Amino acid sequence: MAISVLSDLVMRDAVQETLADVPGADAVGVAVDGGIVMLTGTVASAAAKFAAEDAARRVAGARAVANDLAVRPSGRSAGTELARAIVAALAASGLDPDARIGVGVQGGWVDLTGAVSDDARRLAAATLVRRLPGVKGVVDELTVPARAAAVAAPPAKTAALLAGQGMVRPVAPRREVASAAD
């Protein structure tokens, strides 16, 4: 048993040493268990992913390689990639023809801000984004301007009814007062 653990540690070191020669494989984690090499982390390209796997296979004693490397082009974070995917999905769906939906991404959580023409588009945009891979959740802060205006200023008839029931206090119209300087 101690020999197996020791040989796994030696093999891990050998794989890490081999990976040092693979361009774009700087953030690769290596674990070895019973001769099975597990690669985790991120690489800059698909070519680097397969080169890392090939390098691990060449190490003496490697029985199998589990390649769980994610490809993430350098300079782009997972949040940047997710934001690009969301913007592309909204554009392709036709839900945001005027590009008025703002997208914020942090740790897989997406904030949708801005205005849409109706509640159906608001709900459809949030649902579309929720279904994208990598999205943990959506904070829907989209507004519907026509609805906001209706809530902000009730019709005069409604205001009169509410005032008659004592629910709204009528306000006297403002009078302009001329100052002595005029």
Please list the pLDDT of the chain residue by residue as tens digits (182 residues). Answer: 444 555 888 999 999 999 988 887 778 899 999 999 999 988 877 888 999 999 999 998 899 999 998 887 655 667 888 888 899 888 888 877 776 889 999 888 899 999 888 888 899 999 999 988 888 889 999 998 865 555 555 555 555 555 555 444 444 444 444 444 44
Cα dist from 11 to 49, 83, 86, 90, whole Å = 19, 39, 42, 47
Q: Smallest Cα–Cα separation from 18: which of 57, 49, 74, 75?
A: 57
User: Over the stretch 29-70, which tens digit does the pLDDT of each residue have?
Assistant: 999 999 999 999 888 778 889 999 999 999 988 999 999 988
Q: Which residues of 8-19 are buried (b: 16+ CB within 10 A; e: fewer)?
A: beebbebbeebb
What sign results for the dihedral spanned by CA atoms 89, 95, 100, 104?
negative
- The set of residues, in sequence order, having a beta carbon less than 8 Å from that of 145 and lying 6+ positions away, is 115
Compute the distance between CA of residue 68 and CA of residue 60 in angstroms, rounded to an integer: 21
Beta bridge partners of 142: 114
Question: Domains in the chain, ordered, with CATH?
Answer: 2-71 (3.30.1340), 78-148 (3.30.1340.30)
